[in-house]
Amino acid sequence: MPQAKGVWGLGSCGISNLQLSKRSILHIEPDELGLCCAKAILYALAHLENDRISINAMRDKRRLTLLNRAKTLHNDAEVPLGPCTYKEIKMFVDWLNVQIVVISSESLNKVAYKGENRSRRINLYLHNDHYDVIKSLKGFYAADYYCESCDKQYGRIEDHRCPNACHVCLRMDCMPGEMKRCSECDRLCQSEECFLSQRSLSKATPGRRKVSLCDKMYQCRRCCKVILRRYCPEESHQCGATKCPSCKYYVLATDHYCFLQTVAPKDRLIFFDFQTDQSSGIHVVNFAVAQYYSGEEFVFKGYNSFQNFCSWLFSPVHKNFTAIAHN
C-alpha cells in the first residue's frame, strides 16, 4: 500500500514539469514528520469551504499554522504522527465526514483510492511519496468536463453517459415530474425543469458558438434512437443505421462496404534507448539517447541520465509526441 513520506524524491516521470506547474494543484510543503497528507486534507477543506482566513494563515510559510493543525488532526482522529497510507486516510474520512479521493502518479494519474460517498469531496494528488491538493479536476486533466461519479474526463458533455445522471438533461439532481416532450429534439423530458435545462445554452467558450443539448442531439420517434447531430443530421437519419467504426458515418450495415481508412503518417516521433549498469544486481540507467524523426539526437550521460531524460521527454514542448523505445 502506498505510503507518503512527506519528503520530495527524485521523481521518475518529470511530474514537476507537467502536473505541478498547473494552477489546479495546490502545493503542500514537505516536513520532517511526514504530515503532508493531513496538511493537504486541511488545506483542501479550507478551499472547499472558501475559508479565506484559514487559507491565508495556512499558506503563510513563515508560520507553522498548517503543521500545527495537521498535528491536531492526527491527534483528534487518533492517527499516529507520520506518513499516511490509505488505512490512515480512511480514519480521516470517518473523523471529518468528508469523501477523500487520491489520484496517484503510480496509477497513471488515475484514481487509486476513493472513500465512501459523502456530501463533501476533496481530491489529493500522490506523487513521489508526497501529497498535494487538486483544486480543479478539470484543470488537472486539461478537460472541459469531469464526472466525479464515474471519475472520467471528457471534452463534450454529450459524449459521456453517466448512469447516475438524467439521460435527457445530463444533470445529477434531475427530479421526475410532469413529463414534457421537446418539439425541437423530440426527446421526452422528465419535468419542466429538465426541459428548460436541456434547452439552455452552454457557457460561452472562446471560438465556440453557444449551443444547447437540444442543438446537439435528437431522438427518432420511429426507432427511438438518440443521435448526435454532428455525426448524423436529422434529415440524413435512416432507421436501422449504425455508425461505421472505419469511416465514422451512419450507414445501413447490410448495404455498406467500407475499407480501412488511410492513416496520415506522424512526424512527432521520439525514438530512445537506455544503457544500464548492472554491477549492483539492479539495472541502473547511466546512459540515455533520444532521437527525433528528423534525426536530431539528444544524449544524457551519468547516473542522473534517467531523471534528466524524463524531464526532457515530458516537457510541454513534447505534447502530442509518441515515444518509441528501442528493443
Say if residue 31 is in the same domain as residue 136.
yes
Q: Are 169 and 198 in contact (CB under 8 A)?
A: yes
- Rounded to the nearest 5 percent, the helix, strand and coil shares of the chain are 25, 20, 50
Say if residue 123 is in the same domain as residue 176.
no
Mean pLDDT value across residues 192-221: 84
- Tell the residue number behind the cell numbers 463534450, with chain if given: 156
Residue 20 inside a domain? The answer is no
Question: Is it the case that residue 8 has pLDDT exceeding 70?
Answer: no
Q: Which three cell numbers stand for residue 181?
A: 416532450
Please say which residue of 141, 167, 187 terminates a domain.
141
Say if residue 273 is in the same domain as residue 311.
yes
Say if residue 205 is in the same domain as residue 275.
no
Residue 249 inside a domain? The answer is no
Say if residue 40 is in the same domain as residue 94.
yes
Q: How far apart are CA 77 and CA 60, in angstroms?
A: 25
β partners of residue 99: 121
Q: Which three cell numbers stand for residue 205?
A: 467558450
Residue 9 inside a domain? The answer is no
CATH code for the domain of 57 = 3.90.70
Residue 94 inside a domain? The answer is yes
Give the range among 24-28, 242-246, 288-292 with minimum mean pLDDT.
Answer: 242-246
123 CB neighbour count, 10 Å cutoff: 26
Say if residue 49 is in the same domain as residue 129.
yes
Would you place residue 6 in the very low, low, confident or very high pLDDT band (cuts 50, 70, 90)?
very low
State residue 205's pLDDT score: 58
Q: How far apart are CA 142 and CA 113, in angstroms?
A: 21
The number of distinct structural domains making up the chain is 3
Q: How far apart are CA 281 and CA 288, in angstroms?
A: 19
Q: How far apart are CA 212 and CA 146, in angstroms?
A: 18
What domain range is 197 assigned to? 156-219
Please say which residue of 88, 107, 141 terminates a domain.
141
- H or E segment to which residue 138 belongs: helix 137-141
Give the range among 19-23, 40-44, 216-220, 244-248 with minimum mean pLDDT.
Answer: 19-23
Residue 3 inside a domain? The answer is no
- H or E segment to which residue 272 belongs: strand 269-277
Say if residue 105 is in the same domain as residue 162.
no
Q: Are 93 and 116 in contact (CB under 8 A)?
A: yes
Say if residue 120 is in the same domain as residue 45.
yes
Say if residue 42 is in the same domain as residue 116.
yes
Say if residue 205 is in the same domain as residue 300.
no
Nearest to 118 by CA among 92, 80, 140, 144: 92
Q: What secondary structure, in 3-state letters, does 160-182 show?
A: CCCCCCCCCCCCCCCCCCCCEEC
Q: How far apart are CA 310 and CA 322, in angstroms?
A: 14
Say if residue 30 is in the same domain as residue 129.
yes
Would you place residue 21 in the very low, low, confident or very high pLDDT band (cuts 50, 70, 90)?
low
Side chain identity at residue 320, one-letter code: N
Residue 130 inside a domain? The answer is yes
Mean pLDDT value across residues 274-297: 93
Say if residue 77 is in the same domain as residue 108.
yes
* Exposed / middle / buried, residue 265 (Cβ in 10 Å: 0-12, 13-18, 19+): exposed
Q: Which three cell numbers stand for residue 290?
A: 533520444
Would you place residue 252 in the very low, low, confident or very high pLDDT band (cuts 50, 70, 90)?
confident
Phi and psi torsions of 319, nearest 5°: -60, 135
Residue 233 inside a domain? The answer is no
